[in-house]
Amino acid sequence: CKHQLAARLAEVVQAYTEVRVPDEELAIILSRL
């Protein structure tokens, strides 16, 4: 289910944000998924 994937992705994004990943890097990471 895509909702589960989105939920897990949100958790990953949250984890990266806590580590202070720049928005540009985060955008690159998301664009490669």
Looking at the chain, the whole-number percentage of residues with pLDDT higher than 90 is 0
Which tens digits make up the pLDDT trace of 13-23? 887 777 776 77
Q: What is the full DSSP assignment across 1-33?
A: -HHHHHHHHHHHHHHHHHTT--HHHHHHHHHT-
pLDDT of residue 21: 67
* 3 pLDDT above the threshold of 70: yes
